[in-house]
Structure 1
Amino acid sequence: MNPAQTDNDLFARHRPRLFAIAYRMLGTRADAEDVLQDAWLRWHQTDQATLQSAEAWLVTIVTRLAIDRLRAAKSERESYVGWWLPEPLVELDERTPETAVELASDLSVALMWVLERLSPEERAAYLLRQVFDHDYDEVATLLGKSEAACRQMVHRATERVQQAQPRFTVPLDAHRRILEKFMLAAQSGQRDAVKALLDENVALVGDGGGKAGAFADVKHGADRIANLFWAAFLKYADDVVYQLVQINGEPGLLRYVCGKLDTALAFVVDGEHITEIYAVRNPDKLAGIPHRI
């Protein structure tokens, strides 16, 4: 067999895991793909016969490249117009081979929102330990830190994530049922029905990136947010259509206005009500989603 072909096959075998790490670190498909391309080039420039573990080497390279890229992205995101949310990974079907990457691990938009508050190394340490289940000695080797330093970083990051994350786990079918009710109510202009599905203190975070309308602050309150969806119905009526999809491994909605994709909506639910809504409207982050129904 051609050695180059064998190298390509080996990289391809590990690619889903590498992409999962890079995306969770960076929050956009393009940045994750750039990191994997850099890793692939380095992979082919390395004497692979000297490696004890190809997977460990590739995970290390991808993690370190992602940290470097995230450091650069942090300064860019400081000047971003409005709130910065991750590019949504959307599945139109329940599960497809391409998007089944590590979906058992937490990939939600809500978690990605929290991870943005961590430093690049804290984010890497948290993901490697808590999401990808690496031992602390492995995390220390990957990051070039002491094991004690990594334990401290993971502890700090975990505390911050737990403070911001919901303390309940909702089965996907229950999550989906709530969104189905919400979708029908929003699409038919039933303001009171929309409000009834919202927690009293529900929060909405919007990302327009200066290229689409979005709020400069986080909106709170069932009444206020129900009015936002009702206003869209009053303005466009039957030209507003919602589609139930999977967004970052969880039920979510796409909103189309006049047949064109307008917003990707991710939700946090408590089993009975919607507690958080993340609305991605920046067209650059919607580019990978079908733009017409």
Structure 2
Amino acid sequence: MRTADATAVFEDSRRFLMDLAYRILGSRSDAEDAVQETFLKWRESDPATLANPRAWLTTLCTRHCIDQLRLGHRARVEYVGTWLPEPIHSETTESPEMLLELSSSLSTAFLLLLERLTPRERAAYLLYEIFDQDYADVARAIGVQEAACRKLVSRARMGLSEGKVRHQPPRERQEQLLEAFHAAIVSGATAGLTALLADEVELCADGGGKVPTLGHILQGKAEVLDFIFGSLRGYWSDYDWLPAELNGGRGVILAHGDEIAASVTFAYDEDGRVSDIYIVRNPEKLAGLGVPN
């Protein structure tokens, strides 16, 4: 296979590999590194000898991500403050059915749920449940027997079922929330946002120890609203408010010109009310986000 052809084969799989790596690792920058490492190994291989190049690439990328999760465990444990996944711009070009599944699996809430799983459970669940690969292919990708793979997926389902259920309300509801949140920051209007928050809503912020932020998770509508109206309004009222498609849903980027100060994403309960507000302020996690046009 000529070099140009081999590169084309890889490029056909690049988006899939990036989507998989990001969901396994919860980090856009780490996912890009994993995909680049896969590409370098691909260049060293002889694609003409591979019966199924896509399966080979999936296996290589998956195992690299599993290794990275294991190596990164200590860093997660020692992380300063609340750890949140690195925010990522998400596209909306798929069919409505595919969009709903892929979007929900990109959400901050779901990526946090995945943190409960072992690296192999996480990879097996994503490949089988989200990317619709059969057990035989998943087993080959993670390097276990098919029976063991089935057990990994089963354990992952059990682990995730104990967490918060994923809900993705209609976009109109998400836009309504952004408008109410913006009004609360700009003018101090309370009624719109208050009505959209669940009673047990939580708010957490990730500064990574690099910028000032909350040292604990806020719990309950009263505490969250006090923080929004008492603190965030003062901090954010002069920022550019930039709605964006983040992690499969409508979120917002706060910026001063080309400098991003924060990103905000949300989780919802079964009634379409906000159950969680996630704020990322860690500059390292915001560096690759970019200001939307």
TM-score, normalised to structure 1, is 0.89
Contact 1:259 1:292 in 2 (8 A): no
Offset of 1:96 from its aligned partner? 7.8
Counterparts in 2 of 1:181-196, with a 5 A limit? 181-196=180-195
Residue pair 1:243, 1:255 contacting (<8 A) in 2 also: yes
Structure 2 residue identity aligned to 1:164: G
Q: Percent identity?
A: 38
CA distance, structure 1, for counterparts of residue 125 and residue 34 of structure 2 = 19
Structure 1 position 237, deviation (Å): 7.2
Alignment of 1:24-43 (within 5 A): 24-43=23-42
2:160 maps to 1:171: no
Counterpart Cα distance in 2 of 1:16 and 1:277: 28
Distance 1:234 1:253, change over 3 A: closer
Structure 2 counterparts to residues 39-78 of structure 1, below 5 A: 39-78=38-77
Cα drift, residue 192 of structure 1: 4.4
User: Which residue number corresponds to residue 261 of structure 2?
Assistant: 262
State the Cα distance separating 1:241 from its structure 2 match.
4.2
Once the two structures are superposed, residues 239-272 of structure 1 have per-residue CA deviations (whole angstroms, 9 ceiling, x without a partner) of 1443211111211112346985322111012354
Superposed displacement of residue 223, structure 1:
0.9
Partners in 2 of 1:199 and 1:103 — Cα distance? Answer: 22
Question: Compared with structure 1, are the counterparts of its residues 169 and 102 closer, same or farther at alpha carbon in structure 2 (3 Å cutoff)?
Answer: closer
Cα drift, residue 212 of structure 1:
1.7
Q: What is the TM-score with the length of structure 2 in the denominator? A: 0.89
Question: Equivalents in 1 of 2:25, 2:151: separation in Å?
Answer: 22
| Distance in 2, Cα, partners of 1:84 & 1:129 | 26
Matched, 1:275 2:275: yes
8 Å Cα contact 2:206-2:282 kept in structure 1: yes
Task: Provide the secondary structure at the position in 2 that maps to 1:251.
Answer: strand
Confirm or deny: 8 A CA contact 1:187 1:241 kept in the other structure. no
Do the aligned partners of residues 197 and 46 (structure 1) sit closer, same or farther apart at CA in structure 2, a change above 3 Å counting? same
**Cα distance in 1 for residues equivalent to 2:82 and 2:20:** 23
- Mapping of 1:192-271 within 5 angstroms? 192-232=191-231, 235-236=234-235, 238-256=237-255, 260-270=259-269, 271=271
* Distance change >3 Å, CA 167–CA 76, structure 1 → 2: closer
Q: Could you tell me how far 1:171 is from its partner in structure 2? A: 2.3
What is the alpha-carbon distance in structure 2 between the residues aligned to residue 168 and residue 272 of structure 1?
A: 8
8 Å contact kept, 1:35–1:66: yes
> Residues 236 and 215 (structure 1 numbering): CA distance in 2 closer, same or farther, change over 3 Å?
closer
How far 1:197 sits from its partner (Å)? 2.1
CA contact (8 A) 1:206 1:278 kept: yes
Q: Which residue of 1 aligns with 2:20?
A: 21
Runs of 4+ more than 6 Å apart: none
The root-mean-square deviation of aligned C-alpha atoms, in Å, is 2.6
| Deviation at residue 292 of structure 1 after TM alignment | 9.8
Q: Which stretch has the larger CA shift, 32-41 or 229-238? A: 229-238
Aligned residue runs from structure 1 range 78-93, under 5 A? 78-90=77-89
Where does the alignment leave 5 or more consecutive residues of structure 2 unmatched? none
**Pairing 1:83-162 to 2, within 5 Å after superposition:** 83-90=82-89, 95=92, 105=102, 106-162=105-161
For residues 135 and 280 of structure 1, the distance between their equivalents in structure 2, rounded to whole angstroms, comes to 35
